[in-house]
Structure 1
Amino acid sequence: MDEIKEFIVIEEEEGDRLDIYLSGQLGDMSRSYIQKLIKDKKATVNGKIEKAKYLVKEDDKIVIQIPAPKLLEVIPQDIPIDIVYEDKDILIVNKPQDMVVHPAPGNYEGTLVNAILYHCKENLSSINGIIRPGIVHRIDKDTSGLLMIAKNNNAHNSLAEQLKDHSITREYQFICHGVVKEDKITVNKPIGRNPKDRLKMAIVKDGKNAITHFEVIKRYENFTHMKASLETGRTHQIRVHALSINHPLLGDEVYGPKNNKFNKLKGQTLHAKKLGFIHPTTKEYVEFDSELPKYFQEILNKLK
């Protein structure tokens, strides 16, 4: 059955294009797919069909009809994945940069989910449905590093509860613009949708609580190699908090400078390096570490 979603435009959102507004509201869907839905007359504004370039106004009532996902569209694919650890309950993978974690409407192939469906067959939790089987948490397409996959619902519930309690160890490494003076910085600032650009996140007063602990690993000329430990897991948290202290991530075209001297970068230099949690079955603490990817290490070598 198709899903119907309704939204009322608030004052801060007035002036956004219809496709951009809906992209902000429907974070899992690509803008191109939303544009297709609008073109196919699946969206209305105050009961009328409008084009993607329509500028939304305060109090506009927007209704969009989202076709139900089809099971056959999420297919197992023999895509190589770097497996760090596996048992009957969990799978720890080291996701490469430039790989989407799970399918979204209009993008059903080449994702980590397609790969683990092939590897695990039927042995994945079903809690997050057919689009995100086994997926407990995710990282951005252009972020590399460790992810935990639940192979059954008991494991999924245990890991999800630990995420909710902020008891999971999550340590990232990144390279940022500028030389960070302080050895350690804790940023405690709420994060929500950017009212001026719904495709971005930002520090906003009514956002969700977000806490990041930063620590300098090494300083270079014009750049700093840092690590970040997360207490919370908000969308784009490290990237937004790093920008808030005026040190955006190298390669981050959304929150940082558009140009840098490393032109071959595919996205932000951000790697989920360490992941630790209580094992769902053994009840013992387990921790996993991964090496920095080749592209990341090559940049550090050039900075030296």
Structure 2
Amino acid sequence: MVADAAASTQRLDRWLANVMGDLSRSRVKALIEQGHVTRDGAIARDPSEAVRPGARYTLTLPPPAPATPAAQRMDLSVLFEDDHLIVLDKPAGLVVHPAPGNLDGTLVNALLAHAGEELPVIGGAVRPGIVHRLDKDTSGVMVVAKTDRAHQALSEAFAARDLERAYLALVWGVPAEATFRIEAPIGRHPVDRKRMAVVPKGKPAATRVKLLRAWGTAVALVECRLETGRTHQIRVHLAHAGHPLVGDPLYLRRRPAAAKALPEELEARLAGFPRQALHAAVLGFTHPVTGQALRFETPPPPDLAELLSALWPDWGTIPTNPV
């Protein structure tokens, strides 16, 4: 479709929604952000850009997603499994459940192949058995329910924070205090909707932080424990406190001043780390059926372990204890 002169004052998403007629503006906005709209053959990803009169816009609808994810066999690092639940070590780079842009190749697809019809539907057809999730590029321990009873009990435990969760995070700069608590509400960023932010009307959020190791004043390894479970909570809170995660693609916006204190080679390694340096190291909870106390702890994956070893050759001797 070619835009006429009357469209020049309109946002791209609003104009396309009006032209299409059968798509909502929010749906059109999502399609633009996912790269399904072109302007004169080039992808247009900004829903708020002004329409250019005379330009030819093309919107290509992706094929509909299947109502139920397909089972796909993948190697899973299973730490524990019985008739009621699975505990696994999720690798970085694996999306937990299907969503626009990641319709397959997710942990849910792998779980369906692993457990099949055992997974409960109480979590929804797209998220069967999922009780909590980790960001795509965050590694570490996760628990998945295999029965409705386990799903309900585990969901209640996560909601009540009646469990133990500890994360290892490599951050820029060194906190002034050995232990501290960050309490700041989190909500959608007012401008960039892909990001979360500390906002006045956000949901209450609190994170306890413990300094484990420091490299001069440049970088630190910290342990984080969640009192709440907001989207990107650790990443947002640490960035808000002035200590963004090494490698974080969303919340590390520029080269940190603390990086100047590092040798050039070491700074290059940290600056080139391709994902947020965050690992869900510990998960402890009461078995929802047997009542057994379960606790699982995993070391960081090789890419993060190599980075930590470059900073502190003996970092593996650091205990993960409650703050």
What's the TM-score, normalizing by structure 1?
0.79
How far 1:181 sits from its partner (Å)?
Answer: 2.1
Which residue number in structure 1 is paired with residue 123 of structure 2? 128
Deviations 1:227-264 (A, max 9, x none): 00001110000001101110000000210145662255
- Determine helix, strand or coil for the equivalent of 2:111: helix
Which residue number in structure 1 is paired with residue 290 of structure 2? 282
- Determine helix, strand or coil for the equivalent of 1:170: strand
Structure 2 contact 32–47 (Cα < 8 Å) conserved: no
Q: CA–CA distance in 2 between the matches of 1:176 and 1:82?
A: 27
Q: CA–CA distance in 1 between the matches of 2:204 and 2:299?
A: 30
1:256 aligns with 2:252: yes
Deviations 1:81-103 (A, max 9, x none): 10011011010010001111111
- The count of aligned residue pairs is 262
- Which structure is higher in helix share? 2
Work out the percentage of aligned pairs sharing the same amino acid.
Answer: 37
**Distance change in 2, residues 1:303/1:123 (3 Å):** same
Residues 254-263 or 172-181, more deviating: 254-263
1:168 aligns with 2:198: no
User: Which of residues 58, 66, 73 in structure 2 aligns to 1:70?
Assistant: 66
- Determine helix, strand or coil for the equivalent of 2:193: strand
User: Which of residues 206, 211, 215 in structure 1 aligns to 2:206?
Assistant: 211
Amino acid at match of 1:150: A
User: Which of residues 96, 102, 109 in structure 2 aligns to 1:114?
Assistant: 109
Which residue number in structure 1 is paired with residue 234 of structure 2? 238
Q: CA–CA distance in 2 between the matches of 1:244 and 1:302?
A: 27
- Which structure is higher in strand share? 1
How far 1:55 sits from its partner (Å)?
Answer: 2.6
Q: Looking at both structures, which has the greater relative contact order when contacts are Cα pairs under 8 Å and sequence separation is at least 6?
A: 1
User: Which of residues 151, 156, 168 in structure 1 aligns to 2:151?
Assistant: 156
1:202 aligns with 2:197: yes
How far 1:78 sits from its partner (Å)?
Answer: 1.4
Runs of at least 5 residues in structure 2 that lack an aligned partner in the other structure: 1-9, 15-25, 39-43, 51-60, 256-266, 313-323
**Distance change in 2, residues 1:54/1:99 (3 Å):** closer
Which residue number in structure 2 is paired with residue 299 of structure 1? 307
- Determine helix, strand or coil for the equivalent of 1:239: helix
Which residue number in structure 1 is paired with residue 48 of structure 2? 55
Q: CA–CA distance in 1 between the matches of 2:145 and 2:180?
A: 33
Amino acid at match of 1:245: A
Which residue number in structure 1 is paired with residue 184 of structure 2? 189
Which residue number in structure 2 is paired with residue 147 of structure 1? 142
Q: CA–CA distance in 1 between the matches of 2:92 and 2:121?
A: 26
Task: Spell out structure 1 runs of 4+ moving beyond 3 A.
Answer: 15-19, 29-33, 51-54, 65-69, 257-260
Structure 2 contact 32–45 (Cα < 8 Å) conserved: no
- Determine helix, strand or coil for the equivalent of 2:152: helix
**Distance change in 2, residues 1:217/1:266 (3 Å):** same
**Distance change in 2, residues 1:257/1:191 (3 Å):** same
How far 1:138 sits from its partner (Å)?
Answer: 0.4
Q: CA–CA distance in 2 between the matches of 1:52 and 1:179?
A: 37
